[in-house]
């Protein structure tokens, strides 16, 4: 999908782009009930509490583009998208060629000098990986595709070439090496050791060196705090668990001797200046760019701002130089901007699309940028929306002058601190006397799937598949307390969903990885390279605030009552759903589940070691029972954590896989667990000073008629309003900000600083009447039938479900699962949804 081509772009168009809004501000104050998408003034509201108005003339494309490069004659652009390489005319933005891939890597696309070849890095979840080599004709059409196989699983990323194109230099992320490749023979000649997780590569012919950025920095040494990363370990911050160093490796072109140079944290894109004398590396987790003298290897650092001021999270993702080397463009992934650095200072900025990740500059100074998430659209084109309807952006901007740069900087600052009308309610949440919060995180449902047929609120009954007969407790809680019909996930899938909820931060390392997550699907933070340098949302709280974690971050274990601890087990040692269900019914599950360790060791002291890990083979009834057992102990002792985090996962379902419960039974299992937990808390001594917050980690497995990010959220407590529909714009970050406001925890990332606490859901008058759980309305152990009992589309659905990798969260074809869940709920002859109209206002 495209808006249009580059036609007629000039500085006048850029300047006009900043002259919008009302007196006293760049944009109007948004309605408190605004929906994500296009707003007055041709500006887009994102579910990350940011505004967008990209400069230039954007081209929208399906997928998640992560990198871009320009041909030597500057006629063609090669874009590394998540399912291949796309070739565009540089002058017009017209798509002229494409080479498809199963999945591409974090970055890595380059034209080979002296040829018509484009090289691109391919990576898969568990290997093998490869280099895709596409040969183009004069117009840019792909006339030949080759693949250079790389085994077993090195994860190629950045690619650069020698001046004559005879050698390719490729970062092998999991090997911690720079591969030197004979480009003609398509063969690896040598691997040179680098730091941990090498990423971006560029060559300085002037200095005779290849430079490589290392995301994980120096290798871990005995005595340092260790954290995991893709089967290895790195030095980590003992408090946050994030990586503790970042480096650049300089490799001599002739001898291949290597020298490691210190840089900021999580160095990402790296570029050598046109004269070959200076190397710029964007430090994604230090909000800075390191400038390296290519000859002496001496360094200096330029800080890059995040907005609102006083936060960290600009996430510098890549860099590029102007033709004369007098300006450096640094992509700020977190700020949706390209910062312009001159003379060692930030001279201005250019607004981009959502999360810019790749940049190139032509001889005229025109800048091309690819943005991973475009303008945030989740439109499937048929009247329905899904969070995995990915759409990225390629945009072109001419080199701006000083006035435009200053205006751009003002616009970026305003876009990252949007103004929204007050939501009303209780402004001072501390005054309510809440001492205990319970954040319950569930899996993958949209608002319409569960609440679409509620009869009130902005629902679409045609999309409702898990209504009152499946989710009676959700329906009752939404009716008794507050129905939130304008609530959104900040995430698209579990990978970023848990990171948004736990850190209010998602690194470019995660944003780039959606094609395959080749270093691991670290939704549980089991890769320190995903972790925010600011840590987790509760860190920085007053010393009196305590935290208890049930399930989140948990690695599989089995409780050993004799040792009073959990023992590590392999996922392959997990039992079947039927066995866990039988043990639950017999009350014999206690020593068969547990949490052996945290995905991030720094968090282990906070975690319950008897609560199960997140998966879909253990019934949520066991999770509810274990939480209620510990709550009973707290009843006796009078001691209960202030912030409690719980995960419930059964509503993810296992599709129609034989040997698993039918999807409606699994969603009902989840609903009953929610009801039991709410009943338990509301019947406890802590209830009068409690607040329960319930939310999905994402909304990927379903459709919605408003936005693919719209999801199920509940607020329950004595001080929560009764029988209300609340249409204020809230999201996952709003829930976290609410907890922070209650406990006076500072917001350290831009997205939390921007987030509005959910003041409108509260009332000063408390009603402490306890909640009574509604029993399940259907059998929780109703099983999917065996294959031999099926035919037609039912058999297809069961076969597809059986092929899915349920042991690895979200390693499944989501669009296929969505169809299976739809047909299972509605009937296999019911057409998959394609709404022709929506009851909500058009988004764009």
Closest CA to 3 of 59, 52, 86, 64: 59
- How far from each other are the two terminal CA atoms of the chain, in whole angstroms? 14
CB 505 within 8 A of CB 536: no
The angle subtended at Cα 377 by Cα 371 and Cα 381, nearest 5°, is 130
Per-residue confidence (pLDDT) for residue 572, from 0 to 100: 67
Per-residue confidence (pLDDT) for residue 834, from 0 to 100: 87
| Joined tokens for residue 176 | 């911690």
Per-residue confidence (pLDDT) for residue 497, from 0 to 100: 92
pLDDT at residue 17 tops 70: no
3-class DSSP assignment, residue 800 = helix
Per-residue confidence (pLDDT) for residue 21, from 0 to 100: 37
pLDDT tens-place string over residues 36-75: 999 988 899 999 999 999 999 899 999 999 999 999 999 9
3-state DSSP of 51-120: EECCCCEEEEEECCCCEEEECCCCCEEEEEECCEEEEEECCCCCEEEEEECCCEEEEEEEECCCCCEEEE
pLDDT tens-place string over residues 503-540: 999 999 999 999 999 999 988 889 999 999 999 999 99
- Name the band, by pLDDT with cuts 50, 70 and 90, for residue 596: confident
Per-residue confidence (pLDDT) for residue 13, from 0 to 100: 37
Reported pTM: 0.95
3-class DSSP assignment, residue 407 = helix
pLDDT tens-place string over residues 620-645: 999 999 999 999 999 999 999 999 99
User: Rounded CA gap, 495 and 514, in Å?
Assistant: 8
Task: Reply yes or no: is the peptide bond before residue 152 cis, omega within 30 of 0.
Answer: yes
Mean pLDDT of the chain: 93
User: Rounded CA gap, 343 and 326, in Å?
Assistant: 8
Per-residue confidence (pLDDT) for residue 836, from 0 to 100: 65
| Joined tokens for residue 358 | 């790749």
Per-residue confidence (pLDDT) for residue 812, from 0 to 100: 78
pLDDT at residue 6 tops 60: no
pLDDT at residue 431 tops 90: yes
User: Rounded CA gap, 710 and 57, in Å?
Assistant: 29
Per-residue confidence (pLDDT) for residue 805, from 0 to 100: 83
Average pLDDT over residues 243-253: 97
Q: Are strands 177-182 and 167-172 parallel, antiparallel or unpaired?
A: antiparallel
CB 626 within 8 A of CB 608: yes
Which phi and psi angles does 694 have, rounded to 5°?
-120, 130
| Joined tokens for residue 796 | 């297809």
pLDDT at residue 18 tops 60: no
CB 232 within 8 A of CB 197: no
pLDDT at residue 10 tops 80: no
Residue 64: partners with Cβ closer than 8 Å, 6 or more residues away: 81, 82, 372, 373, 390, 392, 511, 514, 515
pLDDT tens-place string over residues 660-704: 999 999 999 999 999 999 999 999 999 999 999 999 999 999 999
The angle subtended at Cα 215 by Cα 213 and Cα 221, nearest 5°, is 110
User: Rounded CA gap, 66 and 647, in Å?
Assistant: 31
- Name the band, by pLDDT with cuts 50, 70 and 90, for residue 321: very high
pLDDT tens-place string over residues 348-377: 999 999 999 999 999 999 999 999 999 999
| Joined tokens for residue 190 | 């040598």
User: Rounded CA gap, 614 and 611, in Å?
Assistant: 9
pLDDT at residue 148 tops 90: yes
Task: Provide the sign of the torsion angle of the four alpha carbons 516, 522, 527, 528, taken in this order.
Answer: positive
Residue 608: partners with Cβ closer than 8 Å, 6 or more residues away: 548, 549, 550, 551, 595, 626, 630
Per-residue confidence (pLDDT) for residue 523, from 0 to 100: 85
Burial of 223 (0-12, 13-18, 19+ CB in 10 A): exposed
């Amino acid at each position: 999908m495209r808006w249009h081509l580059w036609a007629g772009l000039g500085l006048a168009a850029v300047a006009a782009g900043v002259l919008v809004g009302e007196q006293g501000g760049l944009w109007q104050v948004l309605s408190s009930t605004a929906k994500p998408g296009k707003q007055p003034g041709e500006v887009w509201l994102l579910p990350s509490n940011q505004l967008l108005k990209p400069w230039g003339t954007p081209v929208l494309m399906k997928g998640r583009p992560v990198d871009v490069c320009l041909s030597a004659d500057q006629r063609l652009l090669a874009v590394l998208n998540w399912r291949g390489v796309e070739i565009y005319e540089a002058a017009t933005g017209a798509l002229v060629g494409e080479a498809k891939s199963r999945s591409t890597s974090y970055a890595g696309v380059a034209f080979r000098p002296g040829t018509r070849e484009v090289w691109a890095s391919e990576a898969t979840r568990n290997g093998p990986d490869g280099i895709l080599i596409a040969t183009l004709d004069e117009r840019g059409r792909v006339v030949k595709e080759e693949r250079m196989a790389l085994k077993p699983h090195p994860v190629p990323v950045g690619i650069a070439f020698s001046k004559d194109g005879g050698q390719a230099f490729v970062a092998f992320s999991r090997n911690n090496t720079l591969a030197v490749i004979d480009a003609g023979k398509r063969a690896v000649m040598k691997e040179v050791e680098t730091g941990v997780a090498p990423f971006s590569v560029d060559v300085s012919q002037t200095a005779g060196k290849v430079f490589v950025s290392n995301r994980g920095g120096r290798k871990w040494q005995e005595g340092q705090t260790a954290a995991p990363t893709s089967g290895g370990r790195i030095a980590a911050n003992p408090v946050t668990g994030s990586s503790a160093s970042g480096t650049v490796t300089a490799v001599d072109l002739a001898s291949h001797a290597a020298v490691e140079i210190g840089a900021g944290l999580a160095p990402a894109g790296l570029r050598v200046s046109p004269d070959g004398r200076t190397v710029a590396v964007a430090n994604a987790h230090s909000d800075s760019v390191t400038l390296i003298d290519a000859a002496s290897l001496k360094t200096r650092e330029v800080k890059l701002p995040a907005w609102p001021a006083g936060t960290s999270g600009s996430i510098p993702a890549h860099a590029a130089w102007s033709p004369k080397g007098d300006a450096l463009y640094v992509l700020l992934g977190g700020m949706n901007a390209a910062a312009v650095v001159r003379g060692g200072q930030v001279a201005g900025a250019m607004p981009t699309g959502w999360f810019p990740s790749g940049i190139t500059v032509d001889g005229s100074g025109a800048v091309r940028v690819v943005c991973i998430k475009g303008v945030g659209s989740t439109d499937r084109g048929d009247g329905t929306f899904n969070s995995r309807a990915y759409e990225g952006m390629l945009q072109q901007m001419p080199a701006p002058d000083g006035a435009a740069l200053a205006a751009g900087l003002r616009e970026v600052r305003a876009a990252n601190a949007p103004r929204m009308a007050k939501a009303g309610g209780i402004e001072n949440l501390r005054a309510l006397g809440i001492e205990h919060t319970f954040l319950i995180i569930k899996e993958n449902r949209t608002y319409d799937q569960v609440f679409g047929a509620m009869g009130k609120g902005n629902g679409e009954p045609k999309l409702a598949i898990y209504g009152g007969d499946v989710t009676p407790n959700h329906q009752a809680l939404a009716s008794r307390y507050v129905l939130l019909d304008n609530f959104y996930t900040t995430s698209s899938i579990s990978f970023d969903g848990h990171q948004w909820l736990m850190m209010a931060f998602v690194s470019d390392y995660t944003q780039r990885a959606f094609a395959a997550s080749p270093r691991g699907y670290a939704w549980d933070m089991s890769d320190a390279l995903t972790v925010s340098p600011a840590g987790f949302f509760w860190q920085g709280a007053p010393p009196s605030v305590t935290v208890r974690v049930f399930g989140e971050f948990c690695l599989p274990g089995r409780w050993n009552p004799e040792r009073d601890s959990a023992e590590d087990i392999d996922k392959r040692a997990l039992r079947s759903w039927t066995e866990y269900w039988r043990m639950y019914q017999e009350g014999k599950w206690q020593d068969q589940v547990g949490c052996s360790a945290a995905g991030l060791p720094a968090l282990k002291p906070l975690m319950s070691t008897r609560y199960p890990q997140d998966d879909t083979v253990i019934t949520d009834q066991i999770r509810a029972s274990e939480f209620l057992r510990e709550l009973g102990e707290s009843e006796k002792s009078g001691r209960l954590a202030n912030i409690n985090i719980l995960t419930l996962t059964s509503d993810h379902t296992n599709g129609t896989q034989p040997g698993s419960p039918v999807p409606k039974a699994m969603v009902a299992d989840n609903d009953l667990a929610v009801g039991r937990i709410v009943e338990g808390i509301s019947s406890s001594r802590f209830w009068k000073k409690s607040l329960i917050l319930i939310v999905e980690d994402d909304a990927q497995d379903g459709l919605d008629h408003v936005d693919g990010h719209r999801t199920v959220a509940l607020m329950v407590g004595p001080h929560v309003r009764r029988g209300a529909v609340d249409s204020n714009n809230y999201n996952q970050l709003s829930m976290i900000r609410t907890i922070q406001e209650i406990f006076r925890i500072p917001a350290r990332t831009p997205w939390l600083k921007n987030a509005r606490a959910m003041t409108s859901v509260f009332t000063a008058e408390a009603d402490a009447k306890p909640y009574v759980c509604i029993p399940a309305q259907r059998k929780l152990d109703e099983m999917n039938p065996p294959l031999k009992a099926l035919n037609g589309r039912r058999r297809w659905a069961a076969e597809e479900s059986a092929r899915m990798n349920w042991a690895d969260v979200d390693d499944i074809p989501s669009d296929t699962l969505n169809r299976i869940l739809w047909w299972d709920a509605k009937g296999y002859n019911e057409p998959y949804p394609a709404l022709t109209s929506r009851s909500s206002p058009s988004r764009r």
